[in-house]
Amino acid sequence: MSTHHKQHNPGFLKLVNDAKARVKEVDIEKYQKMPADGHVLIDTREDHEWTAGHAAGAIHLSKGIIERDIEAEVPDKSTTMVLYCGGGFRSALVADALQKMGYKNAISLDGGWRAWNEAGLPVEKP
């Protein structure tokens, strides 16, 4: 389970920063204070990342398919969803897209999978 920081390209970072200006974010400390039954935790990482390990209780809808499948998985657009990826960049892009689809409570977990592991939160492997 790799938690190293990735070097991102400037165009990607510009896109992410633009999305982050519009989306709600929560850090791992604030996430831990949220009621466990008050939200859906969604892993937006790729399949190989999910199978290597994921947050306990999360559902998997990767960034590549979430817009296509979210309405079947989470039909209530007022549901609070906490989205995470490796570090909080892809999940911010997903939260932005879901807001455009009418979801009111899509929240990106800043720090993502890396922060989850550093906090020692429960992990599952399929």
Q: Which residues are catalytic?
A: 85
Rounded to 10 deg, the angle between the 66-73 and 90-100 helix axes is 60
φ and ψ of 52, to 5 deg: -75, -15
